[in-house]
Amino acid sequence: MTGPALILVGPPGSGKSTVGRMAAERLGLEFRDFDDDIERVHGVPAGELVVKLGREKFQESEREILADLLPQHDGVLALGGGTPTAPGVAELLEPHHVVFLDVNLDQLLRREGLVTLHPWLLPNPRAHLKELLNTRRPVYAAVSAATIPTSERTPEDVLADVLATMPVTS
Ligand SMILES: Nc1ncnc2c1ncn2[C@@H]1O[C@H](COP(=O)(O)OP(=O)(O)OP(=O)(O)O)[C@@H](O)[C@H]1O
Ligand SMILES: O=C(O)C1=C[C@@H](O)[C@@H](O)[C@H](O)C1
Ligand SMILES: [Mg+2]
């Protein structure tokens, strides 16, 4: 096994889980959500774990769990929103086909459930997300073969663009 056929990265709420699940179905592959793997290992949802452990320890754990997972999963993988920024993760992603789902701040604030899932965004989710988008966009882009805009687009349109980036296999 050579690892995931497709890895999706992007800010929380960019559509990684939604589009990742659709892509897996279309490709006839298994879908895995990295936040579920984190929760399985720690017994706490990823968003809460950030608050419990602090960002540094959380990221160390993300890198370890990802290093174990990559050789075991050959389907579609939606990473955690912050996973590509964890030290050592860019190197782990290097051999794989990674796609960045981009989204703008206004769209993000309109998407559901963001703060419930990510309590570390409090007390000012707008300011936090604005800063997060500015600092992380170059990191997401650097680990990715393609950047797909998702703002004001349907998941189906995003899916079509994602599938068009897939390397042709013979
Ligand atoms: N292209 C889209 N247009 C509008 N809403 C979308 C789009 N893609 C996803 N959504 C909605 O945005 C919300 C967040 O999507 P999703 O959970 O797939 O994002 P995510 O990147 O996996 O986020 P997280 O990092 O929180 O796991 C969901 O309510 C989903 O239905
Ligand atoms: O963007 C982030 O920093 C995070 C996103 C989520 O997917 C979770 O991994 C966690 O809430 C951290
Ligand atoms: Mg998700």
Task: Return the CATH number at 25.
Answer: 3.40.50.300
Q: What is the C-alpha separation between 14 and 11, in angstroms, rounded?
A: 6
- Is pTM beyond 0.80 here? yes
Closest ligand 2 atom number to CA of residue 83: 9
Does 170 fall in a domain?
no
In what order do the strands lie in the sheet containing 98-102? 31-33, 76-78, 6-9, 98-102, 146-149
- Say how far apart CA 135 and CA 78 lie, in whole Å: 20
pLDDT in tens, 60-90: 999 999 999 999 999 999 999 999 999 999 9
**Is 107 in a helix, a strand, or coil?**
helix
Domains contained in the chain, number: 1
Q: Which residues contact 104 (CB under 8 A, 6 or more apart)?
A: 133, 151
pLDDT at 139: 98
Q: Is residue 1 part of a domain?
A: no
Does the residue 165 lie in any domain?
A: no
pLDDT confidence bin for 1, thresholds 50/70/90: low
2 alpha carbon to ligand 2 midpoint, in Å? 26
Q: Considering every ligand atom shown, identify the ligand nearest to the alpha carbon of residue 108 and give its number.
A: 1
Q: Running DSSP on this structure, what letter comes out for residue 104?
A: -
pLDDT at 160 over 80: yes
pLDDT tops 90 at residue 35: yes
Is 161 contained in some domain? no
Pocket mutation for ligand 2, best pick of 58, 59, 79, 83 (most atoms within 8 Å of C-beta):
83
Residue 75 forms part of a structural domain: yes
CA 95–ligand 1 middle distance (angstroms): 26
Backbone Cα Rg of the chain: 15
What are the pLDDT digits (tens) for 86-143?
999 999 999 999 999 999 999 988 876 777 778 888 888 889 999 999 999 999 999 9
Query: Is 84 near ligand 2, meaning CB less than 6 Å away?
Result: no
The answer as to whether 168 is a domain residue is no
Q: In terms of Cα–Cα distance, which of 151, 156, 147 is closest to 10?
A: 147
Average pLDDT, the chain: 94
Name the residue range of residue 100's domain.
6-156
Write out the H or E segment, with its range, that includes residue 6: strand 6-9
CB 10 within 8 A of CB 16: yes
